[in-house]
Structure 1
Amino acid sequence: MAAVPGVRRSELGDALRACRNAFIGVGIMSCMINLLYLTGSLFMLEVYDRVLPSRSVPTLVGLAILAGGLYVAQGVLDLIRGRILGRIGTSLDEALNARVFDTIVRLPLMVGSRNEGLQPLRDLDNVRSFLGGLGPSAFFDLPWLPFYLAICFAFHVMIGLTALVGAIILVSLTVVTEFLSRAPAREAMGLAARRNDLAATSRRNAEVLVAMGMAGRLTRRWSEANEKYLEGNQRASDVSGGLGAIAKVLRMTLQSAVLAVGAYLVIHQEATAGIIIAGSILSARALAPVDLAIAHWKGFVAARQSWHRLNKLLGSLPARATPTLLQNPSSRLSVEAVSLVAPGDQKIIVQDVTFTLQAGNGLGVIGPSGSGKSSLVRALVGVWQPFRGKVRLDGAALDQWSSDVLGRHVGYLPQDVELFAGSVAQNICRFDPDAASATIIAAAKEAGVHEMIIKMRDGYDTQIGEQGAALSAGQAQRVALARALYDDPFLIVLDEPNSNLDTEGDEALTRAVRAARERGAIVVVVAHRPIGIEGVDQLLVLKDGRMQAFGPKETVLGQVLQRVAPPTPIKIVSEGGVAKS
């Protein structure tokens, strides 16, 4: 199908359309399975109308063998159909999991903390689980309901009408299920997300909760959130479960009604005894997909909501096109009238900052807390996009680079250091599978952390655990510094790199900054302590998001010190020759 000009294709739809042949196969198998479902009713019809009147054992044996073979074929086809549907769900996941993970990473950088966390991943799991379950089988079987009703009418009009009335009631019940379950399912999903976010936040801050006596209060908040989730989930379950129970009772009532109508027809000699049983089996089979659909309606509603959320999310964060590969940056960093707002906010926190650094320059960024220092360095490494202005490397704006390519030329040590589960070496080399040991060790030595690492239990192969739990704050910061220096990046940005360092670590940091500058890198250091800017030659002063001063370090420091120096007392000589201040 050709795409409509100007209309964005749904990535989920494209992934599902890629499984078109598999769905066609499922449809063909559903056709064969539903034809084989006639085995039971036709077998009973023949037994009651032929075998019992003739008392022929060979006929009974032949029918039994034939029915057994058909049942085996039906079971095999049903098994294959279920496995194909499961693989369709897996194929959809394989096609989209990388994109979904990419949105999870990018979303906080665009909307800040007001995002759905891991909800996109749970949404993909919901869609995959539904496709691999029994729900789709019911929808493939539903179109065969008129076929079974037609056979019931062929047996007798009264039997057909009875089955038709039952079908209308159950289909109406399905529609009612759709309208009544939509809102409770959506509410339960939102409550589950809030509960999970609270649990994840508490887990990350377990030390603070215990140390400051907050565990009991957070437990109460968790209990309240969990209680609301259970109530919402119970409402959704009550709707789908209650309507499912009603559907089951109605189907059993219908089966008995067909038996009663058949018996009435037999009494009046308008039908045979075999038609009673065959009609009952066929009517039950006709309405089984409706019953199954109602039973799985909760999962269907959840999967549909997940589908819509994923479609909206992937549409709002389209896949990034691969830009033309530029030359490696090697000469300058330019910041051109950059103004910044936090993701998801409108307030400008950095305004009209302009400066240029050449290869080998080191810039110290200083200023009071809340002056926009960390926000500025996020823009320098491409994490935040400027509200106005441009950040350029060798004249090319950062958005002309893909993040994977730009990342090879950038070393970044954020204010809040967080390492990943894995070995020390893997964290230093940024989990590059082709990293050379010599390059990893060189980065560690440049950061002054090589001796510390080789004293660990397994050296560079030491597993640091989730979020670097096996390391102290100072060790984690020094390993993160080695990660920033790995493979000699051109632009190195360090946000308060000495906040957890001792004297030895401070000295190693200064040596690392000077060594990077000597090889031609540009180094930007945000610092509150004077030792953090020892290795730089330029200084930028920020206050309230505005640039107060920029230039050579000694010159700017002199200006800053002059501003904050106390006024010199003025001596006044009195008429009597006594000096007064």
Structure 2
Amino acid sequence: MAVTGGRAPNQTDSDGRSELGKALRACRGAFIGVGIMSFMINLLYLNGSLFMLEVYDRVLPSRSVPTLVGLVVLAGGLYVAQGLLELIRSRILVRVGTSLDEALGGRIFESVIRLPLIAGGGGDGLQPLRDLDSVRSFLSGMGPSALFDLPWLPLYLAICFAFHTLLGLAALIGAVILIVITVLTEVLARNPLHEAMGLTVRRNALAAASRRNAEVVVAMGMTGHHTRHWSAVNDDYLAQSRRSSDLIGGLGTAAKVARMMLQSAMLGIGAYLVIHQEATGGIIIAGSILSARALAPVDLAIAHWKSFTAARQSWQRLNKLLMILPRQREVIQLQAPSRQVLVETISLVPPGSQRVVVAEMTFALEAGHGLGIVGPSGSGKSSLARALVGVWQPVRGKVRLDGAALDQWQPDSLGRHIGYLPQDVELFAGSIGQNICRFDPEADSQDIIAAAREAGVHELIVAMANGYDTQIGEGGHILSAGQAQRIALARALYGQPFLIVLDEPNSNLDAEGDEALTRAIRSARERGAVVVVIAHRPVAIEGVDLLLVMKDGRAQTFGPKETILGQILRPPPGPIKIAADGGVAKP
């Protein structure tokens, strides 16, 4: 008995830690190391100040060349050590960002796939991956270094006070000014940056939609309209981005000017103290260097505030996403279904909608049954298909395989027992063989060929230059619509699944393809599979034995195909009368 899946975190764990927080907390050893290195680096930053102090106060008055050489060698060695520590610290932070991506990348990608099935397909579906990139980039950049250096600001201020109270007060005033600028940056830039991010999502979503529908846009002369629409959104984005950049840039410039003024003020105060013999000449230079070093982390934090804010917003969105889509809970791996598909009084509402599209649907299919589902457009046929394969969860009722509800299965395990051909066929960049075997790296070549033969597409494939190894490109663009549909049918049949759901499987097929489809349906039923076919063309349901007629999301009729077709096609009772215009008069 195997156990699959994982415990659902980010419904926050018992200790209140989110999944993202736990992934970051797993790197605490690296952060402790970075903290220790930051301590050593900030101590070594005193090297320059002390060197200048000794040169001005000891070497110049004594004119001692050996002392100068000794100080140069010592200071040079300390600078090399400082450089090595900063190099190691930056590399550790890069690896922390990489570790976070490795820990969560798969989860985020899985959530990108699952999110449209929970919340609908609106918005920029790839934003979570960009958010993860944003967090990783921030952790790998200079921003965290500034945050690790900030706690050492009091050390430098204390040394300035040790030199002289006036020097300490000047440095303290400069630090307060920069901290105030930092707080203003956070308060004033928060909303502009948030709005700019929203406009970025709109702009990217519009561009992606236009690219997906390029044929329609170009063929119907919509390029200019779409370009103007995108340009309007882009102008709003640029204006908002410019506003936030101007604000952050202006405050950053103010911080830079304040820091430069403080350095000059420290020199001026030092000179005043020297004139009054309250300090030495070395203290003038050392105090200026120390004050600059004390305020450098604040200045660096302001410079990287935009990336910090973007990373924080990305972190919040990722936390929310993983809260909505926790890991699949632990489930017992069930035996392969082989007996029955039961639809138990299900009602369906599309993700992101409130409208019921299928209501109170109930029927049962035994092994070897073939069900055709017909009805007018908008009657809920495709919605029912999505519920049968488990991609939409019913708001009421259950779909069961051999008595077990679909939500009792781990998704990847369930997928091995289901074949699905959606109405809008989508293939993936790779070879034909990879697409048929669903990109299973352990797939057996004979199983791939068997699925292609069952779909009647083997001869078509081997006639291609590279056969099953033919690369079909993104979306299968080198294939015709009919070829793509037949290869997608082979993918649905791969592995001999128990439940096969085909939504408009012959919409792009010619007569030869229709015949191959009928043979595939009958072959699957003969081996004990349950086949469900949604169709508008009668030829698609030749291989089934049951028929379900739907209207307005409800079952109108269900039963043997021949009986139902007889009811639908039965002529109206009573004698036929010829109207005056030669047509058939209504009784």
* TM-score normalised by length of structure 2: 0.95
> In the alignment, which residue of structure 1 is the partner of 2:561?
553
> In the alignment, which residue of structure 2 is the partner of 1:568?
574
Tell me which of 445, 453, 469 is aligned to 1:445.
453
2: CA distance, partners of 1:570 / 1:341:
44
> In the alignment, which residue of structure 2 is the partner of 1:409?
417
Tell me which of 225, 228, 233 is aligned to 1:225.
233
Tell me which of 28, 36, 56 is aligned to 1:48.
56
CA contact (8 A) 2:124 2:202 kept: no
> In the alignment, which residue of structure 2 is the partner of 1:78?
86
Tell me which of 220, 223, 240 is aligned to 1:215.
223
CA contact (8 A) 1:337 1:388 kept: yes
Aligned positions of 1:146-157 closer than 5 A: 146-157=154-165
Higher mean C-alpha deviation, range 311-320 or range 397-406: 311-320
Distance change in 2, residues 1:530/1:46 (3 Å): same
CA contact (8 A) 1:107 1:115 kept: no
1: CA distance, partners of 2:356 / 2:15:
34
2: CA distance, partners of 1:4 / 1:458:
50
2: CA distance, partners of 1:250 / 1:6:
47
> In the alignment, which residue of structure 2 is the partner of 1:393?
401
1: CA distance, partners of 2:16 / 2:299:
37
2: CA distance, partners of 1:302 / 1:568:
75
Report the AA paired with residue 569 of structure 1.
Answer: P
The size of the alignment, in residue pairs, is 569
Aligned positions of 1:111-150 closer than 5 A: 111-150=119-158
> Is the aligned partner of 1:506 residue 2:514?
yes
1: CA distance, partners of 2:344 / 2:169:
79
Question: 1:9 is paired with a residue of what secondary structure?
Answer: coil
Question: 2:557 is paired with a residue of what secondary structure?
Answer: strand
Cα displacement (A) at 1:265: 0.3
> In the alignment, which residue of structure 2 is the partner of 1:578?
none
2: CA distance, partners of 1:465 / 1:202:
20
> In the alignment, which residue of structure 2 is the partner of 1:521?
529
> In the alignment, which residue of structure 2 is the partner of 1:255?
263
Aligned positions of 1:139-538 closer than 5 A: 139-538=147-546
1: CA distance, partners of 2:227 / 2:16:
45
Distance change in 2, residues 1:253/1:142 (3 Å): same
> In the alignment, which residue of structure 1 is the partner of 2:583?
none
Report the AA paired with residue 174 of structure 1.
Answer: T
> Which structure 2 residue ranges, 5 or more long, are not aligned?
1-10, 578-586
1: CA distance, partners of 2:557 / 2:109:
41
Cα displacement (A) at 1:449: 0.4
Cα displacement (A) at 1:567: 4.9
Aligned positions of 1:72-111 closer than 5 A: 72-111=80-119
2: CA distance, partners of 1:5 / 1:447:
47
Which structure is richer in relative contact order (CA contacts within 8 A, separation 6 or more)?
A: 2
1: CA distance, partners of 2:503 / 2:17:
41
CA contact (8 A) 1:108 1:115 kept: no
CA contact (8 A) 1:490 1:520 kept: yes
> In the alignment, which residue of structure 2 is the partner of 1:540?
548
Question: 2:497 is paired with a residue of what secondary structure?
Answer: coil
2: CA distance, partners of 1:204 / 1:422:
19
2: CA distance, partners of 1:333 / 1:41:
80
Cα displacement (A) at 1:569: 2.8
Cα displacement (A) at 1:114: 3.2
1: CA distance, partners of 2:39 / 2:45:
10
Question: 1:336 is paired with a residue of what secondary structure?
Answer: strand
Cα displacement (A) at 1:247: 0.4
Report the AA paired with residue 465 of structure 1.
Answer: G
Tell me which of 19, 28, 42 is aligned to 1:20.
28
- Deviation beyond 6 Å, 4+ runs, structure 1: none
Report the AA paired with residue 206 of structure 2.
Answer: L
* TM-score normalised by length of structure 1: 0.96
Cα displacement (A) at 1:154: 0.4
CA contact (8 A) 1:513 1:535 kept: yes
> In the alignment, which residue of structure 2 is the partner of 1:65?
73
Report the AA paired with residue 165 of structure 2.
Answer: V
Report the AA paired with residue 26 of structure 1.
Answer: V
State percent identity of aligned pairs. Answer: 73
CA contact (8 A) 2:123 2:201 kept: no
> Which structure 1 residue ranges, 5 or more long, are not aligned?
572-580
